[in-house]
Structure 1
């Protein structure tokens, strides 16, 4: 079973418009509202592929009621920890003409120490049945600095590999705490490490003890960096669509392969790139196109050098 933890879940609101004009008004068909946050998007993709998964997240307030109802209807196995603060919202406006999305994320409300302890207890209870632990998404402002290290430590103590997708100082704390895999994008990596070069930045995380860094480069593909070197994967042509769940699909691919015992970085990179691309083709985060095997066949992988496109 793959266990996902979403420390700062959101009710995802998505609208599609023909063309987004800043400062203008727009008409759109009815938008969608679904339980989101990066860990839940990972869980949705994993569940859709028939792999056992359990998603753990917090929930609270009026938005939390809608969040919980939609998640129950989705069929994704989950555990929700009740908190006092309202579940935040994330708004995505997809520009169909440009093939991209503009996103506004509320920051979220920090749970109390007792509420965090309740979430940790749910994680610890399920770790004996887990093959992989995924901790994915932002942390609410004011979250304890030790939250990620404690969660990662619980996984390591249980002999479970831990995949983390987060940003800011939490990314470095996850590296130092012994995360097996980190999945930042280029901007998140540069912000966290202060290193502009993506290979140097990823290598600095490897030097902290991380086994594998999967680094999203947007339309330029993805890097897999290990202690033995770096590989660069990309499609033969970029895809237009909704990129909001692309990184989560990459994490899902890595988690599924890790659960199968796969550790070959090239195979993981190829699958992660294909699933990431397949997510861009779907209207909502947490889904990937059934054409992902065809996309995987179009992925080229080669050794990475700083002269490659970033």
Structure 2
């Protein structure tokens, strides 16, 4: 079982237009679905036939729309009602661009209070306790923290999971990422920009070494079309996908997290797990919505991924110590 937690979910609206022209009227193709990074992970896992459950707080009119869409798409979910209104995100995808340009508008979302946070923690603990009794379980924590929660909120959930023997994958940034590291997440997955911002180090290897030194067990950094690199005390590997023209990069990182979670729950070696993550991420770019991937492209990319072992990383770990 892979349990995802999305603390700041959204109603995701995607507009697809040939070209975005400021100051003019557009008539886009429109899609609306439940969103937020953890929801995207759960949607991908569900499409792959994996047992998953999306845990998320919802409130207001758009919260009901998110719940209804999850019901309609049959993505298993557990909702914690909150008083604030669930946010919206709007992504404009330029289908005529070979680079797959996407312009996003992300609302801040509601503020959670201490009572609501306690209810969320209790719900996550109950779900993990039940799941871990019967099967291998992984917890995925994705996205920025909502307003009202302290920087170490994710650390609290990681510790809660660890007490039940459940490893955690964390996909967040900034202070929330740094505050979670002493709780020892099994995997953290920053992109290149988030890795640099969190550590102040321009070199990705040195930056990843710093996150390992602070408590992460493994660091998977994403580099867009250049693929994914995992850095662990036992070795470093890079997976490079084939070039993908066009599409929508929104949600590609969430697809990678889904594959990482599958690898962790199955006990798959890192090279194979990373290759699968790169293939699934690239196949998601081929579509116009987050949480949706091109199944045929995914199968093809799995055969075409290049895996390279990087032998020099131990020096960076020692330099950061």
TM-score range, shorter chain: over 0.9
User: How many angstroms does 1:118 deviate by?
Assistant: 0.7
Residue 304 of structure 2 is aligned to residue 298 of structure 1: yes
Give SS of 2:178's match: helix
* Structure 1 partner of 2:250: 244
Match of 2:282 in 1: 277
Correspondence for 1:203 among 206, 209, 222: 209
1:289 aligns with 2:294: yes
Give the corresponding residue for 1:265. 270
Q: The residue matched to 1:40 in structure 2 has which SS?
A: helix
Counterpart-to-counterpart distance in 2, 1:238 and 1:200: 29
How many equivalent pairs are there? Answer: 304
Structure 1, residues 74-115: CA drift from partner, whole Å, max 9, x if none?
111111111111001111000111122111111112211111
Contact kept, 8 Å, 1:239 with 1:277, in 2: the verdict is no
Q: Find the counterpart in structure 2 of residue 103 from structure 1.
A: 104
RMSD, aligned α-carbons: 1.5
- In the alignment, is the contact (CA less than 8 A) between 2:3 and 2:138 conserved in 1? yes
Q: What is the CA deviation profile of residues 125-179 of structure 1, one whole-angstrom value per residue up to 9, with x for unaligned ones?
A: 0112141001111111332223111100011111011001011111112222211
Q: Secondary structure at the match of 2:295?
A: coil
TM-score (norm 1): 0.94
Structure-2 residue corresponding to 1:86: 85
In the alignment, structure 2 segments of 5+ residues that lack a partner are 313-321
1:222 Cα deviation after fit: 1.1
Alignment partners' CA distance in 2, 1:268 and 1:132: 15
Moved beyond 6 Å, runs of 4+: none
**CA offset at residue 119 of structure 1?**
0.8
Number of the residue aligned with 2:40: 41
User: Which structure 1 segments of 5+ residues have no match?
Assistant: none
**Partner Cα distance (1:80, 1:198) in 2:** 37
TM-score normalised by L of structure 2: 0.91
Tell me which residue corresponds to 1:28: 28
Q: Distance in 1 between matches of 2:245 and 2:213?
A: 34
